[in-house]
Structure 1
Amino acid sequence: MNDRAISTDSKDIWFPVTLRLDKGTRALVVGGGSIAANKAALLMATDTHITVIAPTLCNELHRTLEADRFTHVAAMATQEILESHIPGMRLVYAATDDRTVNRLVAAIAQAHNVPVCAVDDPEPSSFITPAIVRRGPVMVSISTSGAAPVLARRLRERIEALLPAGLGRLARFMQASREKLAQSHPSPDTRRRVWENFLDGQGAEQALAGNEQAASATLERLAAAGSGGGEVWLVGAGPGDPDLLTLKALRLMQNADSVLYDHLLPPDVLDRVRRDAERIFVGKQRSQHALPQPAINDELVRRAKAGERVLRLKGGDPFIFGRGGEEIEALMEAGVPFRVVPGISAANGCAASAGIPLTHRDCAQSCLFLTGHARADGTLDLPWHTIAQRGQTVVIYMGLGGIACLCERLVDHGLPPTWPAAIIEKGTQPDQRVITADLASLPRLAVEQNFRSPALIIVGEVVKHRVVSTGTKES
């Protein structure tokens, strides 16, 4: 089955593995038509011996199979025939155009604990075949767990275009160099960093081009330098949609030894972090600090001085209400090297996702970013004479808790109660919600509709220019 599905049961769970099919292993294909030929072609890319059970073989199967690597059993797939051939197989494809026969094959294979794929019938199957991209020893498999085979094929097309033809040469070079590097650098962490520096620099380009001599010289130079010291990376993860991560952010997320992250980051973004990186939650929510800021600063310094590459992953942009400036000051004082990678700010990303322009030549020639943290008594200490102005847009971060006071003070300082305002909850994410109203009604609607953080408040006439997903303006 080539990632097709008949059942759409959301409880089906498929776990990706790469199965070893080297010389001496045996695989069985039941069927002699084009469906069987497709599966046999996949198996021919391995060293396994293929047995085909079918009364006759189509021309495509004759062309696909190499004479010294397959056995043709010219017979119908009866219970007796199947019972005599399935035991001992590494895997089985039930690839006839008869669903009943395929299910018989699957039942016998399952009884003998042999992995089986009944083509286009996931229910009796114990595995499915993903869409595959090959570059020598490098293999990329794409599966939608049978939910959307056309999507899997489209993803394969995109990956085919992205992966260079010389990727196999690069993989073989790295394989041939592993033992020598392991002898000079016994530490797995050090070896990993050397390889990462090799892949990020000219060494990878040299190996891709087949210039092994130059690639070897580059690798020796990097190995002599070792892993280097620790470093801190302050990275903006954007407003929540993982597709809005920058390419540089993604690369650093994959290279980090540890990551300190906060509550604004959804799981889909954290999934892009290297799987074996240590994760430390330091999230700060209203009146709930997992780790105070000075302790976060100390932890960044401690880990970097211990030689780690530390990722400080922040929602939005590190320098827009992300306290990145404070962390950099602590790193500079401690003499710790650092890098800053900007991200799409929450204001830009959420406003765009909600269809609200932050500036508009008819009504907003400036845009003001504010933090709406209230005091312990619930009051807001903000420059109201600057905020309550026409001709500008005001974006308030972290203002949901004090929204009633916020709207009241804006009206007190000159804006009309009918002045447009909006709240965007979980902007750019699939469960994004948006309220468009005015200063008089926004606090009530936020309570009635149970809006929660993370949320942005936008105040200004630009809200009237909101373009909803249908392409029409909302009044």
Structure 2
Amino acid sequence: MNAPFLRQSSRPVTQTRKKRIDELSVLPVFFNLTGKQVLIIGGTDAAAWKAELLAAAGAKVFVHAASYSDDFKALIKSSADRFYIRRQHQLATDIAEASMVICDAPNAHAAKQVRSIAKLYGVPVNIIDQPEHCDFQFGSIVNRSPAVIAISTSSAAPIFGQAIRRRIEMVLPAKLSAWAALAQQFREKANAMLAPGHERRSFWERFVDKAFREEVKPSSTEELIEAAKNIKSGASRPSILTHIGYRVDDPEMVTIKAMRALQSADVIVHSSTTPDAILELARREAKRVCVDDPNIANAPAGKHVVKLIEGNPCLFDQLEASPKTTSCVPETA
């Protein structure tokens, strides 16, 4: 008998299925801790950092410690409404009622004790710097909240994870935080204005383009409403022309703004001498068009075209053009 709460698939069963993802060493998940009780055991600097992360995620942080580092004391003082100092006799109860437990254990014996109690109550536990006793791990974080990126190396090389974080930080502008918040606020309105499928996808593609090019302004909401109306009416989106300079002898000498533009471009116009190292910075879906003189190309209607110009690596010019712009880019683009 089929369970009434299980969704039934109308697709025919096939014998083979294409694999969509390679093996993962860990499963990346995001835990909503707003208003949830979590437990920190230990008063060290390392425990303070984990406590600060949990408080930033909106958790109620219960703390058990015999003593506290100066940093931990300062943290508690600065956010007294987020932290609850507990007594030793309350430990078992606090573990049982916690959503997760983080412990800076002084040795393996203490780590096993905390883990055994947590497992008894089915509470996930993290023992700082002792991965063999952990149910979950903390990764390096790129914070553009409500957009959050976490990076894990499965404890193999934390410094490697930090290096990856720094590079992502360079590519993602800080203004994305404000755009992500605006996306949360505008999502319901966009869904009401636009039909599922092509219309909504087109709108959010335009939203992303604006997020990487502009700061959030007082008029941004009105501009998004206008963009949604244009999509509904079938009007073409504006074209964007971006000129980026580069040096053949040093292709890594590109600006952060140039990297962001390449990641958002629909078409990359370049010459035969443009180094592959530059072209590889663009997103995979972008069309690459090789011409004798990149300056001859205009922007196809509704597209973002990046023209790579040999010379000054600091060159960056961007222009929003009319959607009626005639394209000199070959039709294959």
TM over 0.5: yes
Identity, in percent, stands at 30
1:65-84: per-residue Cα shift (whole Å, max 9, x none)? 22222111243xxxx65322
The counterpart of 1:250, out of the listed 273, 284, 297, is 284
Structure-2 change in CA distance of 1:38 and 1:198 (3 Å): closer
Give 1:393-432 correspondences, 5 Å limit. none
Whole-Å Cα distance in 1 between the matches of residues 142 and 175 of structure 2? Answer: 13
Whole-Å Cα distance in 1 between the matches of residues 133 and 277 of structure 2? Answer: 36
Structure-2 change in CA distance of 1:249 and 1:55 (3 Å): closer
Give 1:22-101 correspondences, 5 Å limit. 22-23=34-35, 25-65=36-76, 66-75=79-88, 81-101=90-110
* Structure 2 gaps, min length 5: 1-22, 236-265, 269-275, 288-329
Give 1:186-197 correspondences, 5 Å limit. 186-197=195-206
Contact kept, 8 Å, 1:133 with 1:139, in 2: the verdict is: yes
Q: Whose radius of gyration is greater, 1 or 2?
A: 1
Using the TM superposition, give the Cα deviation of residue 188 of structure 1 relative to its aligned residue in structure 2, in angstroms. 4.2
Q: 1:209 is matched with which residue?
A: 215
Q: 1:152 is matched with which residue?
A: 161
- The aligned amino acid for 1:117 is N
Contact kept, 8 Å, 2:193 with 2:228, in 1: the verdict is: no
Whole-Å Cα distance in 1 between the matches of residues 179 and 192 of structure 2? Answer: 21
Using the TM superposition, give the Cα deviation of residue 106 of structure 1 relative to its aligned residue in structure 2, in angstroms. 1.6
Structure-2 change in CA distance of 1:60 and 1:227 (3 Å): farther
1:252-287: per-residue Cα shift (whole Å, max 9, x none)? 49xxxxxxxxxxxxxxxxxxxxxxxxxxxxxxxxxx
Whole-Å Cα distance in 2 between the matches of residues 147 and 227 of structure 1? Answer: 53
Whole-Å Cα distance in 2 between the matches of residues 138 and 245 of structure 1? Answer: 27
Q: 1:13 is matched with which residue?
A: 25
Contact kept, 8 Å, 1:86 with 1:114, in 2: the verdict is: yes
1:25-75: per-residue Cα shift (whole Å, max 9, x none)? 111011111121121111121211101111122211111122222111243
Give SS of 1:128's match: coil
Give 1:100-179 correspondences, 5 Å limit. 100-179=109-188
Aligned pair count? 231
Whole-Å Cα distance in 2 between the matches of residues 156 and 212 of structure 1? Answer: 31
Q: 1:454 is matched with which residue?
A: none
Contact kept, 8 Å, 1:190 with 1:227, in 2: the verdict is: no
Structure-2 change in CA distance of 1:183 and 1:213 (3 Å): same
Whole-Å Cα distance in 1 between the matches of residues 80 and 63 of structure 2? Answer: 12
Structure-2 change in CA distance of 1:340 and 1:110 (3 Å): farther
* Structure 1 gaps, min length 5: 1-10, 236-241, 254-337, 342-475
Structure-2 change in CA distance of 1:197 and 1:89 (3 Å): same
Using the TM superposition, give the Cα deviation of residue 249 of structure 1 relative to its aligned residue in structure 2, in angstroms. 4.1
Whole-Å Cα distance in 1 between the matches of residues 212 and 278 of structure 2? Answer: 27
Whole-Å Cα distance in 1 between the matches of residues 331 and 224 of structure 2? Answer: 24
Using the TM superposition, give the Cα deviation of residue 199 of structure 1 relative to its aligned residue in structure 2, in angstroms. 1.7
Structure-2 change in CA distance of 1:227 and 1:191 (3 Å): farther
Using the TM superposition, give the Cα deviation of residue 175 of structure 1 relative to its aligned residue in structure 2, in angstroms. 1.5
Q: TM-score, normalised by structure 2?
A: 0.61
